[in-house]
Amino acid sequence: MAGLCLIITLTGTAIGLGQLVALVMGALYYDGNSLKAYEPIFGSPAEISAATGDKPLEDGAMINAITNLKAAQPDQPMTFIAIRMVGTPTEFIEITTKPHQRLVYGEAWRFDAKGNLKGSYHISDGPAGRQVAASLYDLHFGSFGGWPVKLIYAVLGFGLTVMIAAGMDIWLIKSAEKGKPHPLIHRLWTVLIYGAPAMIAATFAIAMSTGANPVAVFWGGMALMAVITLISPRFSDAPIAEVSRLMRLALGLSLLAMVSAHQATHMSFTTAALQVNIVLVLLGLGFALTAARGWLTARKAMMLQIGQ
C-alpha cells in the first residue's frame, strides 16, 4: 500500500505540476503559448513541417501510414491513431505504438502527406528526461504489466480511497468523543466523499441528454451542494449517518442515470460498453441498496425504542 501511495503521489504531482509549469513558462517566455514548453518532449512544429513538407494529407494517406508502420515495426502494436490539425495546411498523421518491455506510454511516429514513414518522436529512445516524462502516465494509471498490475492497482486504489475517507471520519468521531465536535465539517466531508462522484455521474447524464455545458453543470452542482450543506444545520439536525445514507442514495441513482443516458443516446451493446455499464449498474444498485438498508435498520431501531 505504501509503495502504491508513493508512486501515485509522485507521478500525479509531476503530471499536475508539469501542466502548471507549462502554463507559467508559456506566459513568461513564449508569449502565452504553453505548448512550446512541451516541445522538448513531443517535438516542435518545425520538426513536423520537416516531415510533412507543410502539405495537406492526400487521399489514402492514412491507409498508407498504417501499412508502412506495420511493415517497419511489426512487433509494436498500435495504440493510438490520429490526424492532428485537421482541416489546416499543416494537418498531419500521428500513430502511437507500444514498445515491448518499456514503461513509456508509447512511441509516436511521423508521416509525410502521402503516408510515408518519416521517423519517430524518439520518446522511447531519446533523452533520459523525455523517457522519464513519457513513463509517468503508465506508472500513475497502472497501464503496464497487463491485467495483474491493473487488478493490483484497482484493489490497492480502492483500499487507499477507503483509507482516506475512513481516516477523516475516524478523526472527526474521535474529536467529538473528546468534546470537540465538528458537525459542519463532518457534513461537508461526507457530502464531498459521495457528492463529488455523484455529481460527475449526474453531469454525464445531464450533458449527454440535454447537451448542457458539462463544466457549468458540474461546478454549479458542486457549489449548490456546498451551499445547501453549509445552511442545512439551520433547518435539519439529522445525524451524520442520515446524511451519509442520503448521499449514498444520490450516488447510486446518479450512476444508474449515467448508464441510462448513455444507452438512450447510443444504444451501445458493444463488449466495451457492456463491461463499463454493467459495473456502473452494479455499483449504483449497491450504493442505493446500502442506503435503503440503513434506513430500514434505523427505522426498526426507532420502532423498538418506541415500543419500549
Q: Indicate the average pLDDT of the chain.
A: 86
Cell numbers found for residue 167: 481516516
Q: Are strands 78-84 and 107-111 parallel, antiparallel or unpaired?
A: unpaired
- Percent of the chain past pLDDT 90, that is, above it, reads 31
Residues 105-158: tens digit of each pLDDT: 889 898 988 899 988 888 888 888 888 888 888 888 888 888 888 888 888 888
Contact 40, 129 (CB under 8 A): yes
Please state the φ and ψ torsions of residue 33, each to the nearest 5 degrees.
-90, 90
Number of helices and strands (H, E) in the chain? 10, 4
The β-bridge partners of 116 are none
Cell numbers found for residue 111: 508521416
- The label of the residue with cell 480511497 reads 161
Residues 154-189: tens digit of each pLDDT: 888 888 888 888 888 899 889 888 888 888 999 999
Per DSSP, 127 falls in state -
Q: So where are the chain's domains?
A: 2-141, 182-307
Structure confidence at residue 308 as a pLDDT band (50, 70, 90): low
Average pLDDT for 22-29: 86
Contact 143, 135 (CB under 8 A): no
Average pLDDT for 189-214: 93
Mean pLDDT is highest, among 71-85, 135-149, 229-243, 291-305, for 71-85
Residues 280-301: tens digit of each pLDDT: 999 999 999 988 887 787 777 6
Please check the confidence at residue 258 and state whether its pLDDT lies above 90: yes
Contact 276, 255 (CB under 8 A): no
The β-bridge partners of 109 are 95, 120
For the ranges 66-70, 93-97, 251-255, 290-294, the lowest mean pLDDT is seen at: 290-294
Structure confidence at residue 306 as a pLDDT band (50, 70, 90): low
Cα separation, 178 vs 173, in Å, equals 9
